Structure 1
């Protein structure tokens, strides 16, 4: 993806599974997902990485919050909002980024995407590329 580059220096590998013992003394491993599917809406601002946007950081934040409010109220659906508002080329595909693993996105984006449940929409997340609203799809 042109806007969200693989950031090996920012992304860490997957965490080690944690072990917990149940009442029967069997050991189970809690395994965090190693891949997720996500869509996003990027609201870039002047000075953000790879941005040609002319809006200020404050204007971008306000727009991202307004879009988030519209999504929360159901007045717009995520793919439509991505097509209308996103500064990322993925907006043309409803914001779809496909499936990616840990370490493929910058840390702030990755942490938000991996913390969501399928179908859940994140709060506004800032990365060096601008403000994102992320929806986990897988």
Structure 2
């Protein structure tokens, strides 16, 4: 079972905005560029890069998605108390 992961994410306030951004990603847009422009998380300054973190560090739904999702595939929308996330898992180990 993986204990660590690294991921990028985009956090927005509405599910509709999240779905619109996911469609742009599906059509080839850059995850980092969309995160820089649209995310409301401070990680937007790093293109949504959250770096490496331990299992259990993030809020429940986010953590579950990261540690059960497929690497390098965009996951979401994932709803948390902060809003709606698109997550790109870089690796789990």
Name the TM tier (shorter chain): over 0.9
Match of 1:41 in 2: 10
Q: Which has the higher strand share?
A: 2
Distance 1:78 1:97 in 2: 13
Using the size of structure 1 for normalisation, the TM-score is 0.64
Match of 1:67 in 2: 21
Matched, 1:105 2:74: no
Match of 1:116 in 2: 69
**What is the CA-CA distance between 1:117 and the residue it aligns to?**
2.4
Matched, 1:88 2:41: yes
Q: Which has the higher helix share?
A: 2
* Structure 1 counterpart SS, 2:23: helix
Where in structure 2 are there 5+ consecutive unaligned residues? none
* Structure 1 counterpart SS, 2:72: coil
Larger radius of gyration: 1
* Structure 1 counterpart SS, 2:76: coil
Tell me how large the CA RMSD over aligned residues is: 0.9
**What is the CA-CA distance between 1:37 and the residue it aligns to?**
0.4
- The superposition leaves residues 77-132 of structure 1 with CA deviations (integer Å, 9 ceiling, x where unpaired) of 10011001000010110100011111101110001111222211102000000000
Using the size of structure 2 for normalisation, the TM-score is 0.93
